[in-house]
Amino acid sequence: MTYARRAWIIFYKDLLVERRSKEQTNALLFFCLLLLFLFQFALGPDRDRLAAALPGLLWLGFILAGLLGLGRSFLAERENDCWEGLRLTPGDKSAIYLGKLAGNCVLMTAVEVVLVVLFGVFYNVDLWTPAAPLALVLALGTIGLAAVGTLFAAMTTQVRARELLFPVLLLPVQVPLLLATVSATQALLLGQPLADVAHWLKLLAGADAVYVTIGLLTFEFVLEG
Amino acid sequence: MIAAQDLRKTYGPTLVLDGVSFALAPGQCLALLGPNGAGKTTLLRLLATLLRPTSGALRVGGIDALREPDRVRPLLGVVAHGSYVYEDLTARENLRFWETMRGGDASPARLSAALAQVELDTVAEERVRTFSSGMKRRLGLARVLLTQARLLLLDEPFTGLDRRGRKWVNEFLQAFKAGGGTAVLATHSFGGGLGVADRIGILGQGRLLLDRPAADLSPEELHRVYESLTEGAEAGA
Amino acid sequence: MTRALGWLAALGLLAGLAAGFGYAPREAVQGNVQRIMYLHVPSVLTAYLAFGLVLLGSIAYLATRRPGWDRLAGSAAEIGVLFTGLTIVSGSIWGKPTWGTWWTWDARLTSTAVLFCVYVGYLMLRGLIDDPEARGRYAAVVGILGAINIPIVHFSVKWWRALHQPSTILGPEPSPIDPAIGLALFVNWVAFTLLFAYFLSRRIEIARLEEQT
């Protein structure tokens, strides 16, 4: 029970800090808007080309936002030696990972919702009809990204050149997730039923389970640093 | 309470601690003096299980601190430079967070009592960002109060405090000792802390050059001994 | 021990060359360029061996904290990256005359490229941390994640390829029918494994010496 309390208080604390400082979330959401423009300008005015690239762009935007948002997961802990304070707390350190993971999932979900809405509006794409199955793909993709991102963010917090190392470590590991989510999203947007992308969903679910498990098991080794 | 034996710590080629051994009985306070770079912070961090020594043995409260650091940690109260506060949380929220993380009872009544004891109850709902360094230090002590620690490890607790703040920390330490607690404090200033110390240790070049009961040395003698012992250290550094 | 390995590896490679170019027949469809498979396939097999050792060393290091395991993991990763690079390059060289292009996103090449990137990141992480204890720990976490990710990558890439290009017989598959080719392949694989063992042994030795200074 203490484990759950500790995970919860980490989550709650991060929420409070974020709500008070506001800097991170607002900037991140604004970044999503900028990405929209970026993609449009990069791909040109051709409507069809944009529509065809849409699933990829959606997840690309999501990963880019993730690189920014997740990399900062442990930034608050760098102030006033709070990281050290966490090291001194007794008990299973994976509770900290879980709390941080939950917070990051919430953050990334907010980013996604914004991206999806922006894409729907600006690129005039119907994202409402396949909303339910799409939400499932989004949820599975989010967990996978956040699971590895939280772990690597903790690691790179203590390392030189962390802003560079974080994407370098995270992106190759995310490749299977990217392939799965983009393929599944594409199929769903073309109107295919959920059953058609079942194998992708299973891959995502399996990968998520693996990543979260590794995160839970190895976080204490990362925190020690 | 503490039994340290031949603690050595190297960072790559640099030798920071070169065979430090000492023992500290419960209810006693050891003041560690030494110039910057002598290894005071490293030694404290070793005692706090934040670092592992390159070699040596350490027992805290009868527990092997190297094998079972997690069993030692509940006994410890660490007051370090960083003070472990989240700037965007209020004083009360900070206490609630740390006490919950410790697995203790974070009920509002307990938190209020701790805040009152460090005279921060009037600003309990203010964000720590608005606090002076002295107030942050007091908040750190409130956190330690809640933990019911048996061993207090303080790294330069008087730095950045005004006279009132120093007096405050001294009184806190006296009360802590009176309650049976043990303390190790590292400082490079002679003003604060020495009044409350039962033992004085001088750390230089990674070694404990002196380890005597405080009663043995008058302040002038202490100054002299300190200068002569650390002269070599500073010249060599 | 290391010297013996070195000599054995050299002998093995010579034997492999002889088998690949002398003994094995010229492949009917692809011609002589197919012979690069004797380099490509053993390379990728050796790379997987290397990363398997990284996984082993990483887990063992976290469990025991003995620096020897970390040295194994780090050294194996370096050599693994080397052989992965070799795999990609040899695959590319094979691809140019065969498909007309230096690079193609076929399943195996893509998976191998991703593997390459994961462990280059691993090496970069090691390079950026000076404290050997922290380096060992962090690298171990990445090493474990990277290795366990391999089958996930494999399946995702395979299904992805199936979407875009159903049923192509791409990839320098060894023909299982001709025993001569099979034998040449086997000889080269043994030679490469010996070479890997030699490199690994040397690299661990260097790592141990480095740590002493």
Q: Encode pLDDT of C99-125 as tens digits.
A: 778 887 878 888 999 999 999 999 999
Which residues of chain A are modeled with pLDDT < 50? Answer: none
Check residue A81 and report its DSSP letter: G
CB–CB of A81 and B70 under 8 A?
A: no
Contacts of B40 (CB under 8 A, 6+ apart): B32, B33, B34, B155, B186, B188, B203
Identify the burial level of C154 via C-beta atoms within 10 angstroms of its C-beta, where 0-12 means exposed, 13-18 middle and 19 or more buried. Answer: middle
Chain A residues in contact with C125 by the CB 8 A cut-off are 155, 159, 165, 169
User: Containing H/E element for C10?
Assistant: helix C2-17
Nearest to A210 among C125, C141, C152 (CB): C152
CB–CB of B52 and C133 under 8 A?
A: yes
Find the angle CA(B107)-CA(B112)-CA(B113) to the nearest 5 degrees. 100
CA distance A35 to chain B (A): 30
- Positive or negative, the Cα torsion across C94, C97, C99, C100? positive
Query: Residue C17's pLDDT is what?
Result: 75
The model scores a pTM over 0.80: yes
Q: Does residue C168 register a pLDDT over 50?
A: no
CB–CB of A224 and C137 under 8 A?
A: yes
Query: Residue A141's pLDDT is what?
Result: 95
**Mean local confidence (pLDDT), C57-78:** 94
Q: Phi/psi class of residue B211: alpha, beta or left (left: φ > 0; alpha: ψ in -120 to 50)?
A: beta
Closest residue of chain A to B79, computed from CA coordinates: A85
- Positive or negative, the Cα torsion across B184, B189, B193, B195? positive
Query: Residue B9's pLDDT is what?
Result: 84
Determine phi and psi for A140, rounding to 5 degrees. -65, -40
Chain B residues in contact with C131 by the CB 8 A cut-off are 11-12
Check residue A194 and report its DSSP letter: G
Q: Which chains touch C (3 or more CB pairs under 8 A)?
A: A, B
CB–CB of B103 and A90 under 8 A?
A: yes
Q: Quick check: B190 and B218 in contact, CB under 8 A?
A: no
Nearest to C134 among A211, A218, A225 (CB): A225
Strands B76-79 and B63-64: unpaired
The rounded distance, in Å, linking the Cα atoms of C145 and A170 is 11
Check residue C19 and report its DSSP letter: I
Q: Quick check: B183 and B160 in contact, CB under 8 A?
A: no
Chain B residues in contact with A80 by the CB 8 A cut-off are 82-87, 136
Q: How many CA atoms lie within 13 A of A60 on its CB side?
A: 10
Q: What is the DSSP string of chain B?
A: -EEEEEEEEEETTEEEEEEEEEEE-TT-EEEEE--TTSSHHHHHHHHTTSS--SEEEEEETTEETTT-HHHHGGGEEEE-TTTT--TTSBHHHHHHHHHHHHTS---HHHHHHHHHHTT-GGGTTSBGGG--HHHHHHHHHHHHHHHT-SEEEEESTTTT--HHHHHHHHHHHHHHHHTT-EEEEEES-SSSSTTT-SEEEEEETTEEEEEEEGGGS-HHHHHHHHHHHHHHHHHH-
Question: Considering only residues 20 to 39 of chain C, which have any Cβ-Cβ distance to chain A shorter than 8 Å?
Answer: none
Query: Residue C98's pLDDT is what?
Result: 75
pLDDT for C5-40, tens place per residue? 777 778 777 777 777 666 666 666 666 677 788 888
Q: Quick check: B22 and B45 in contact, CB under 8 A?
A: no
pLDDT for B142-194, tens place per residue? 998 888 888 999 988 887 777 777 888 888 888 888 888 899 988 877 666 67
Which value, in Å, is the radius of gyration of the alpha carbons in chain B? 18
Q: Higher-confidence residue: B64 or B221? A: B64
C165: confidence class by pLDDT, cuts 50, 70, 90: low
Chain A residues in contact with B87 by the CB 8 A cut-off are 79-80
The rounded distance, in Å, linking the Cα atoms of A109 and A163 is 22
Q: Quick check: C48 and C81 in contact, CB under 8 A?
A: no
Nearest to A90 among B74, B83, B136 (CB): B74
Single out the residue of A103, A45, A33, A21 nearest to residue A69, CA to CA. Answer: A103
CB–CB of A9 and B101 under 8 A?
A: yes
Q: Quick check: A43 and A14 in contact, CB under 8 A?
A: no
Determine phi and psi for B107, rounding to 5 degrees. -70, 150
Q: Quick check: B153 and B124 in contact, CB under 8 A?
A: no
Q: Is A45 helix (H, G, I), strand (E, B) or coil?
A: coil
Determine phi and psi for B144, rounding to 5 degrees. -65, -35
pLDDT for B107-128, tens place per residue? 999 999 989 888 888 988 999 9
Substitution target from B72, B81, B100 for chain A, most A beta carbons within 10 A: B100
Q: Higher-confidence residue: B221 or A59? A: A59
Q: Phi/psi class of residue B169: alpha, beta or left (left: φ > 0; alpha: ψ in -120 to 50)?
A: alpha
Number of continuous H segments (helices) and E segments (strands) in chain C: 6, 0
Single out the residue of B175, B167, B185, B225 nearest to residue B30, CA to CA. Answer: B185
Residue tagged 């409070």 (tokens): A16
Q: C-alpha dihedral over A64, A70, A76, A77, to 10 degrees? A: -140
Query: Residue B193's pLDDT is what?
Result: 62
ipTM > 0.95, yes or no: no
Single out the residue of C105, C111, C121, C211 nearest to residue C168, CA to CA. Answer: C105
Q: Higher-confidence residue: B18 or A180? A: A180
CATH class, range C2-212: mainly alpha
The rounded distance, in Å, linking the Cα atoms of B147 and B181 is 12
The rounded distance, in Å, linking the Cα atoms of A121 and B136 is 48
The rounded distance, in Å, linking the Cα atoms of A60 and A178 is 8
Question: Considering only residues 48 to 67 of chain B, which have any Cβ-Cβ distance to chain C shorter than 8 Å?
Answer: 52
- Positive or negative, the Cα torsion across A189, A193, A199, A203? positive
Ranges A105-114, B215-224, C101-110, C155-164: which has the least confidence: B215-224
Tokens of A201: 């969903």
CA distance B33 to chain C (A): 28
Closest residue of chain C to B12, computed from CA coordinates: C131
CA distance A210 to chain B (A): 27
Cα B63 → chain centroid = 19
Q: Given CB atoms, is C121 within the 8 Å cutoff of chain A? A: yes
CB–CB of B13 and C213 under 8 A?
A: yes
Q: Given CB atoms, is B12 within the 8 Å cutoff of chain C? A: yes
Chain C residues in contact with B52 by the CB 8 A cut-off are 133
For residue B60, CA distances in Å to A56, B44, B69, B70, B183 come to: 57, 13, 9, 12, 12
All structural domains of chain A with their residue ranges: 2-223
Query: Residue B82's pLDDT is what?
Result: 77
Q: Quick check: C13 and C190 in contact, CB under 8 A?
A: no
Domains annotated on chain B, with CATH: 2-236 (3.40.50.300)
Q: Given CB atoms, is B13 within the 8 Å cutoff of chain C? A: yes
The rounded distance, in Å, linking the Cα atoms of C37 and C35 is 5
Query: Residue A165's pLDDT is what?
Result: 92
Across the beta sheet with B151-155, the strand order is B76-79, B151-155, B182-187, B29-33, B199-204, B207-213
Chain C residues in contact with A159 by the CB 8 A cut-off are 125, 128-129, 138
**Mean local confidence (pLDDT), C165-192:** 65
Contacts of B233 (CB under 8 A, 6+ apart): B34, B35, B38, B204, B205
Q: Higher-confidence residue: C56 or C190? A: C56
Interface of C with B (CB under 8 A): 130-133, 213
For residue B204, CA distances in Å to A120, B40, B195, B230, B235 come to: 68, 9, 22, 6, 11
Query: Residue C85's pLDDT is what?
Result: 94
Q: Quick check: C12 and C5 in contact, CB under 8 A?
A: no
Q: Given CB atoms, is C117 within the 8 Å cutoff of chain A? A: yes
CB–CB of B101 and A80 under 8 A?
A: no
Q: Given CB atoms, is B73 within the 8 Å cutoff of chain A? A: yes
Q: Quick check: B201 and B31 in contact, CB under 8 A?
A: yes
CB–CB of A5 and B80 under 8 A?
A: no
The rounded distance, in Å, linking the Cα atoms of C20 and C26 is 10
C53: confidence class by pLDDT, cuts 50, 70, 90: very high
Single out the residue of B111, C140, C10 nearest to residue A218, CA to CA. Answer: C140
Cross-strand pairs, B108: none
- Positive or negative, the Cα torsion across A145, C50, A224, B187? negative
CA distance B93 to chain A (A): 8
Closest residue of chain B to C210, computed from CA coordinates: B12
Q: Higher-confidence residue: B40 or B219? A: B40
Nearest to B82 among A13, A21, A80 (CB): A80
Substitution target from A1, A86, A88 for chain B, most B beta carbons within 10 A: A88
**Mean local confidence (pLDDT), C128-150:** 92
Strands B199-204 and B29-33: parallel
Chain C residues in contact with A225 by the CB 8 A cut-off are 134, 137-138
The rounded distance, in Å, linking the Cα atoms of B190 and B214 is 13
